Structure 1
Amino acid sequence: MFAILLTEGMDPFYQNIASFPTVFFTFFLLMSALYWLVAVLGFVDLDILDIDIPDADGELGVNSTSNLTNLDTLAGLMLRYGLNGVPVTIILSIMTLCGWLICYYMVHFLFQFVEPGFFRYMAGLPVLAFSLYVSVQLTAFIIKPLRPLFNKSQQQTVKYILGQSAIVRTSRVDGEFGEAVLEDGGAGLILKVRTRGGERFTKGDRVVLLEYSKERNSYSVISEEEFSK
């Protein structure tokens, strides 16, 4: 089955995905796949790229006299195009995949009439811009029905898991990094957790969920031993 990937018939495919403008999306698609692989193995947080994006009727937390940071600007742009209410990692993954597919097929069907070289790069710029724009619109459309699921799930989760024990799944848990798994009778809930006072846990340690921070989208934890005292 995989032998077909090494045949000469696949050369046009590889040439397409490795040349401009498709290579732009190919790079980010590979980074996305690598991220999800590493995240599943527990080396990084599943929502490591998440930023605070308000609801459609919310505010960015700045006023007209304040200086917007890069994250404020990015959050504003994402909110403007409807890219909110779902983890940023999922948004970027969907947008990258959509952009890659659009760009690939545009190059496949249109660039056969364009000579390689300078004119190919010039033609690639509008293709890249168009693919980015359409991928943003498609992503906003795809994630729209997903927002209520994430909001409802988060609200219900916070209510019943505080005070329960979880097992650290990442290589470490400290004040800046870490995830833990809470057994729920199914596949388990993967939660973003943080410690207080410089405490540190390692993979396999049992911790207790004390408090949820909406600003950081994480749970404060302590060891089971300390909780039992």
Structure 2
Amino acid sequence: MNELVVASLQFPTVVFTIALGIVLVYWLFVLIGALDIDLFDVDVDVSGAAKGIGDVLTGGAKGGAEAFHADAGHADAGHADADGDVDGGGLWHVLGLGDVPVTISVSLITVLAWVGSLLAMRYVGVSGWVTFAVFVAALVIALPIAALLIRPLAPVFAVREGKSNADYIGHVCTITTGRVDTGFGQATIEDGGTVLAIAVRCDRPGELARGDKALIIEFDRERSAYLVEPSAEMLGAERSTGSGGTEPA
């Protein structure tokens, strides 16, 4: 036990030990409900820490790509391609670490880097300048391993955007109230197997009754309801317009 403590306090493991302590305190606060799991819900491509890691690991490749294109006489195109490949996607998202909250990614990387550094210092017994290489190697190796472990969790944190009111324009709904006028009316609409109840209005009272099919033509924000017209009438008008354009002169 004493050997583990001593090894944890030696460089470079001590850096990861401090980070691991911060991570443990953070998750303790998460468990008691004092902090959220998405406390740092930001785009890690532009955050300082993640962008720094990406710049360190991909800076050499970017510089090499720019130099190659410059020698070939395509410096401008090469610069654009390199920027697009490195800055556009980002190493963080390329590895899939951005598919979960950054707190989970950073926590897992910290644990893996701490274990890797501890094992290297304990069993390899490096010293001097090699310890700096161990620090970098532990961090670099932790990234792809963390990406593999995080991959099964990605669907849990996937964000799916809901439909807006405009997405239902052009759909056919079924009237469920006895009448529909400028101030009253209800209808149902099917959305991927789910039946939704919506408020509808019709500027021509008496045209729609319970069980009728109506076509959604607009969403009225002032009345917070969809404007509808009898679907048979609307479809018939469209057919008449289409056939009228093909009549011979």
**Relative contact order, higher structure (CA 8 A, sep 6+):** 1
**Structure (1 or 2) with the larger CA radius of gyration:** 2
Query: TM-score under structure 2 normalisation?
Result: 0.45
Query: TM-score under structure 1 normalisation?
Result: 0.48
